[in-house]
Amino acid sequence: MSDIAIRAANLSKLYHIGRGQGKAGYRTLRESMMGWAIAPLRWFSRDGRASADDTIWALKDVSFEVKRGEVVGIIGRNGAGKSTLLKILSRITDPTEGTVDLYGRVGSLLEVGTGFHPELTGRENIYLNGAILGMKRTEIIRKFDEIVDFSEIEKFLDTPVKHYSSGMYVRLAFAVAAHLDPEILLVDEVLAVGDAAFQKKCLGKLGDVAKEGRTVLFVSHNMGQIRSLCSQGILLRDGKNSLYGPIVNVISDYQRGLVDINSSAKIEGANYTGFTSWKIYGTTSYDSMHVIFSQEPFTLEIELQLENPVYNGFLTILLNSDDGQKIGGWKINGVRFDSGTYKINCRIPILPVRPGLYFWHLSLWDGGKKIDVATLYPELVVSTEDNSGLKDEPGAILNIPSDIEIVRI
Amino acid sequence: MQLAKTDQLPDIHIHIEPSRGWISLKLRELWAYRELFYFLTWRDVKVRYKQTVLGAAWAIIQPFFTMVVFSLFFGKLAKMPSDGIPYPIFSYAALVPWTFFANGLTSATNSLVNSANLIQKVYFPRLVIPISAVLSGVVDFALAFLVLLGMMLFYGIHPTSAVVWLPLFLLLALITALGVGLWLTALNVQFRDVRYVVPFVVNFWMFASPVAYSSRLLDEPWRTLYGLNPMVGVLDGFRWALLGVNDAPGPIVYASSLAAVLIFISGLYYFRRMEKTFADIV
């Protein structure tokens, strides 16, 4: 028995993003019958229709080995293939090419509360969810008290979960999943939910799991969580693994990568009327990049192009964290624009938020009429001077500049 | 306790590779997940009549009122022959297994799409989903069956010794519902048209089966050929085993069983073949 827990070799996953099907992956029978009817014709025309346009490699030639007992963080930008990788490892979907060998029982936690039924009580859902996640009935019975204890919902155990608050729901769901005792645990960004105290508790639990010699693969956008939990890291970039190694190296490579990509900032869905580009400047080392330091002033510069004048403009600039929480922003009423190109400068003296990824959301309305709504890509990366910044509470939103002195009196 | 477990676990080796062509049914793995059958079936049963006023009475109302309507139109007005027993019990004895079949087929067909979230987030043998959807109908069947027993008492009809075959006919109905359900639910993942087709299929199928009328209306050899519709065997079987009408439906049952098993096995393989695409396209 080797000490390898996971061995992935040349993993690739091809997704079809077919024409005329919109976002939904499924087809109607009519479309399919049309396809069959046209198929012979297409065979004659031979223009290689199933070309690269219709397909996307969500993963391409990803190989790595994870030793038993290692906690590995998987990082990468949105769409880099992190979730696809976890889905293949947990056997939810087949790889298109390549193989994986997993040595040990696999438990996956890709979403908190999968299979919970709102009409059933907390007690019933513990059994149901446990069974869905792969626990035996005897195992659930044995761990039942522990689960209830961990979830802190004892009083509501016999209430249907549809009456739960979202926090209670998440607590119960995570409690069940946390007590799944697999050899290999795959976790996808589930810790973005719940309140800070509970998040901390969950992280602690994951840490314990690791100490018991289990192997954990952990996807998160929260570098703080990754850094405190993982020893190794895998960096995925456009479906390829670009780095595997000690977590510190991987994170710094990732953040450097963000800067590189950022030099050509564009606005998603930009059209000729509306927000066209943006940049950030004024920070010490990454001038005009999208990385800022949380305690330094910077300027967000947005370019706005208008074909027609706006008479009664309503402009909003919002900053959201990557788990969708509103951090702050501005709503400006009654602005007037003539047609032309404008620059909007937001001078921000300090943005005392936790290091991590953030998104700017912009919108411009004229009266009730939408002019443009945009999310700025790439993400805004908030960093700290020494790239550590872990003295503050990891589950918190703010990174409050402070000087804490402990004096004996 | 946990450490001991860790020690014995590394024997497990899971190999993942792209699956191509025809694949095995992996029945052993399905067996390993038998508790999940229990929990999903239990969930379906438990949830089905939550927040309804009449609750489980719906399981009885459905076949019972169909029987009342049938008795009025086919029995009283059209004077359908009913093999020498009162028409109400003649039709109800068929409606009970028919309702089980129709509901099982419908819920099996919708089962995968309804469990889309589960399929995209957790791994387990997908066969568990349609199978437990059909199994959960057994409870409704039992309730409606109690009413059937009550009606037999009312009409003074005693079952013969043939009643021992009854579970077999129920199994035949189950396999048929599941077999067709496996085909349709896998198709439904890819083609949502199926959802709209099923109510038609169920309706037509009912009139193509001897629910409201007797299979005696056909002469041999057509009657045996008619038995290729598996529900003919089920319904004739129920009437024979429970009410003691007619002789044992021999050739019909063979034909029905053969058809049902063929549909079931082909359904299993088709389902398994499509299974790998479920998570991506559901």
Establish if B20 touches chain A: CB-CB under 8 angstroms. Answer: no
Residue B89 lies in a domain: yes
Q: How far apart are CA A84 and CA A239, in angstroms?
A: 9
Per-residue confidence (pLDDT) for residue B3, from 0 to 100: 40
Residue A288 has pLDDT above 50, yes or no: no
Residue B258 has pLDDT above 90, yes or no: yes
Among residues of chain B, what percentage have pLDDT more than 70?
A: 95
What confidence tier does B265 reach under pLDDT thresholds 50, 70, 90? very high
One-character DSSP codes across B30-55: HHHTHHHHHHHHHHHHHHHTTT-SSG
Q: Would the CB atoms of A93 and B276 count as touching at under 8 Å?
A: yes
Residue pLDDT, tens place only, B98-127 = 999 999 999 999 999 999 888 988 888 899
CATH number at A264-383: 2.60.40.770
Q: How far apart are CA B76 and CA A49, in angstroms?
A: 63
**Tokens (6 digits) for A382:** 């908030």
Task: Write down the pTM of the prediction.
Answer: 0.73
Per-residue confidence (pLDDT) for residue A334, from 0 to 100: 87
Per-residue confidence (pLDDT) for residue A49, from 0 to 100: 45
Residue pLDDT, tens place only, A270-279 = 455 778 777 7
Closest Cβ–Cβ partner in A25, A136, A181 for B280: A25
Among residues of chain A, what percentage have pLDDT more than 90?
A: 11
Per-residue confidence (pLDDT) for residue A317, from 0 to 100: 92
Greater confidence, B164 or A390? B164
Tell which residue, B46, B45, B107, has the closest CA to residue A120.
B46
Per-residue confidence (pLDDT) for residue A34, from 0 to 100: 65
Residue B2 lies in a domain: no
Mean pLDDT within A11-35: 63
Establish if B3 touches chain A: CB-CB under 8 angstroms. Answer: yes
Mean pLDDT within B37-45: 89
Closest residue on chain A to B46 (Cα): A120
Beta-carbon contacts of residue A373 (< 8 Å; ≥ 6 apart): A361, A362, A363, A364
Residue B11 lies in a domain: no
Helix (H) or strand (E) holding A337: strand A326-337
Closest Cβ–Cβ partner in A94, A98, A181 for B2: A181
Residue B17 lies in a domain: no
Establish if B7 touches chain A: CB-CB under 8 angstroms. Answer: no
Residue B223 lies in a domain: yes
Q: How far apart are CA B219 and CA B275, in angstroms?
A: 43
Per-residue confidence (pLDDT) for residue A22, from 0 to 100: 40
Closest Cβ–Cβ partner in A25, A128, A183 for B10: A183
Domain boundaries, chain A: 61-257, 264-383
Q: Which domain holds residue B39?
A: 25-281
Query: CB-hemisphere CA count at 13 Å for B201?
Result: 17
As for how many domains chain B has, the answer is 1
Residue B1 has pLDDT above 50, yes or no: no
What confidence tier does B22 reach under pLDDT thresholds 50, 70, 90? low
Closest Cβ–Cβ partner in A101, A114, A181 for B122: A114
Q: Would the CB atoms of B279 and A87 count as touching at under 8 Å?
A: yes
| Residue indicated by tokens 């025309």 | A45
Residue B271 lies in a domain: yes
Residue B99 lies in a domain: yes
State the complex-level ipTM.
0.81
Residue B5 lies in a domain: no
Residue A379 has pLDDT above 70, yes or no: no
Domain spanning A61-257, CATH architecture: 3-Layer(aba) Sandwich (3.40)
The whole-angstrom distance between A104's CA and the closest CA on chain B is: 5
Q: How far apart are CA A288 and CA A291, in angstroms?
A: 9
What confidence tier does A177 reach under pLDDT thresholds 50, 70, 90? confident
Q: How far apart are CA A130 and CA B18, in angstroms?
A: 28
CB A303 within 8 Å of CB A374:
no
Residue pLDDT, tens place only, A249-273 = 787 777 655 544 333 444 544 455 7
**Tokens (6 digits) for B89:** 């019990």
Q: Would the CB atoms of B6 and A212 count as touching at under 8 Å?
A: yes
Mean pLDDT within A143-156: 89
| Partner A, chain B 122-141, Cβ-Cβ below 8 Å | 122-124
Per-residue confidence (pLDDT) for residue A282, from 0 to 100: 65
